[in-house]
Structure 1
Amino acid sequence: MRLPASLFLCSLILLLIPSCNQRQAAQNPEIQVEVERVAASKAKSPEDVRPYDEALAWHEYKVKRVLSGKLEAPVIRVAHWTVIAAKAVPVSDKQGEVVTLKVVPFESVEDIKDISASDDLDITAEEPPRFLDLSQSLAQDRTPSVVRMDYRGNVSDQMQIYWKLRGQLQAVVMGNSHATKGVCPREFFGQENWHTPLMLNMAPAGGNNKLQCLMIREYVDPLPKLKWVMWVVSARTFNAERTDERKYEEFTASPGWHYDQKNKGTLWPMPALDKPVTATELEAMNITGCDMWGWEGRKQTNLPKHLEEQHKQILKLCDSKRFEWSDKIFAEFKATAQHLAQKGVKVLLFTTPLHPYTKDAAASDPDGTTHEGFREMVQHMEKLDAETPGLWFQDFHKGGSHEFPPTEFYDVDHLNRKGAARLAGMIRPWMEQCEKEK
């Protein structure tokens, strides 16, 4: 089955651009312009940005003609999509090429600043105005079986494993990318889990609380053998200043989601398994975006080699603050977590450590979470722990004063494989202690 060219990208762009009233539309119109490419940043690949599944690259253009709209600048910089839904988007980087683009001011597109972006362009005294390209198309050949498992992005790999394992899963990892990289299911349940996987990391990287709760309700709660949910909590998830609906909108617009909703009556309750699914069977699926337990850990670090340079970079990345606690977001999280605990599922809530140098920065993470905001989140989780039997919380970040050295981080706010192994070594005895509690 061949999807119409640009169908997906157009729908994504519509989701990215907030609805505007007439006054806003007059202030931020679309512009069609003929330009000549002067410089181009190196595009990131899907592999470069995992566990995220979107990326942009900045190009600089000399304006030749304005075809529609209003633009007075002689030079502009334009962000082009290079990765969408974990798929590479071809973008020309030929210097001197003349192209016609439809663009909108970058600042007018809500929540796009958090997307990974390549920017190799020269720093200038007067920064050219920045825009987002609306001219790209993304045509893909897809078979019906591939579309069935298409949930938009890297979460599709995790869901493909999920549908194989759902009859035997005893534990699930939920959260954002801190969980995707930081919690390795292979570290739990001993040799049995290695032979017949019992635990799956389902955390959707970049997913907000709304998407996490949706996945818990629709896919985790119905699991027949579920005993544990490990839910990584991040202060950015509860930040009213960070309303990112993009991944939720993509997921609920995906073919996989629509198939599941249409066929819910036949998918659940699921029949008993004749025999468990083995790791060998999963290996034959050739999943590339994660391992057979849904984990996307990295061996290396993406930070400068020298600690002094790491410190400088982290201070720069975490130099702005934007945080306001959201009772509304927390209410949905609390209701979802307490529902699991009330039905007898053991719920472990915890933070993963952020790089220790973040304690010296203005914000606790690159998303602008304040240190005060992080502590506020911890206080809410401690209160939730105290009032909810069958639910426990631990703060492994500890304001940056933890025992995870810089060598155990992939980047500012994600552990690498060595760090994930250390974290698992802390969680296992905690699980044993929780199991003894009534």
Structure 2
Amino acid sequence: MPVRCQIMDLLDDMCVLDQIVAKNNKFMVWCCDTSGMNTIFRDFKYYYCYLNTNLEGSLNTVTTINGQHESGYTDDNVSSLYIRKGNNINTISSIFCQKFRNLLYIGSVARINTFDGNSLENCENLDNLDLKGTQLNYIPNNLLTRNSKLSQIYLTGSQITTLPRNLFISQNYLKKLYLQENQIEYLPSNIFNPLIELQELSLQNNKLQSIDTKWFTNLVNLRKLYLSENPIAEVPDKSFEFLGNLEILYLSDNRVKLLNSNSFVGLHNLKLLSLHSNEITELPQNTFKPLRNLENLYLDYNKLSIIDAASFGVHKNLVEIYVGSNNINQIDEKFIDNTAVNVMEMQGNICSNEDLMGIENIKVGLQTCFGNYQSTKNQHVDVTRDYQCGQPVKGVGNIVGGKYAKRGNFPWLQS
């Protein structure tokens, strides 16, 4: 018999879903009676009921599901399936969607390593496929053919090395696709073409060595793109030219050595660009010029020695730049004049300032810091400490002005 009890966790909208939880080879149905409900959680009615399962021992897959629902509920009321750790199930069986045809959510953190041939065929209303930390290394080409209503797919933390070319052929309404923390080395050129409504794409922490410019041809609604933690060495010309609505781009923790003036063409709505922890040695002329709405730029942990205004053009929306832990010894004064920068992180450079805040302070602070560097660089002193006019200041702090700092041209900066 079902046992009434209190649901301890209310995550997102899960409280309005009927849920089956597979644990210790039994399924626990979690249902919400929404009849006459209002928005106050205490007016919900929750119950569990247990559905016994028979596992096919050789494959550890479910072959039958039997059980009892509370009065007034049927299999059609079940809209969420979650397979927990702690059971022998390693296959997403077609029996789930055959028995529970109204599933909106299928999730698992168990040791799933395969799908059977028609796993999701009967779940035509499926909205969210959430498989995290599984042992999947292969995705069938026709897995999602009947799931055209999917809005979110999470295939993360697995062993996937590639995806079939036509996997997303029916996903015209997909909004979020997360594929991070896999072993993906290759993706077909046009694999994402059907995803015209996609807003978020994560390929972070894989083994991609290059960016295929054809991946993004049809992703006109993409807002967030995560390509960090791959061995990507180059950002080809016009890699993102069709991503006119992209607002956030992460290319950090790669092996990028060189950018050029066409690397970011088309990204006129980008607000945040992260290139930290690469191997970039220089920023060619007009590198960031196409990014006219850029607000935050992360260039820390690279090998830059110069910040040149010609790399940026006029950027009146740029308010924060992070260039810590480089080899910077020259900053073009015009860069400050041509931007709205009020936060500039410089730690780990010859000028070891902390965040410089306020445009006047930034200019004065840089003048002081680099001036001190010039007066001390031949004296074999520790330039990571703070100096004023060549005299060491006790303690460690941040020089952002002071009575020795003067405004005007900076002879030690690039002009």
TM-score normalised over the length of structure 1: 0.22
**Bigger fraction of residues in helix:** 1
By relative contact order (CA 8 Å, sep 6+), the higher-ranking structure is 1
Q: Going by fraction, where is strand more abundant, 1 or 2?
A: 2
Q: Give me the TM-score of the superposition, normalised by structure 2.
A: 0.23
Find the structure with the greater CA-based Rg.
2
